[in-house]
Amino acid sequence: MPTIIVHLYGHYQDFYPGGLVAVEVPPLATVREAAEALAAADPRFLGVASACRFAVNDAYASLDAAIPHDATVALIPPVSGG
């Protein structure tokens, strides 16, 4: 199975050093499948699909959006910044 790197923002950055987490996803995975893979790997990510936004290659993406090979994926909570 392919592995994607998810960039974490907001308080999710505290979960993993460097704010990055690798998850295995099915080939031609969607954002929803990536969110499910995050939750399966770490229960602290349960509910992120409904509570957060995802970006693929620097653009907000719907849960049904496909994740291209070598894409940059980011998990963005409702409030992140400072």
pLDDT in single tens digits along all 82 residues of the chain: 899 999 999 889 999 989 999 999 999 999 999 999 999 999 999 999 999 999 999 999 999 999 998 899 999 998 745 5
CB 19 within 8 A of CB 77: no
pTM higher than 0.85: yes
Spatial CB neighbours of 77, under 8 Å, sequence gap ≥ 6: 9, 10, 11, 12, 51, 52
Distance CA 27, CA 61 (A): 18
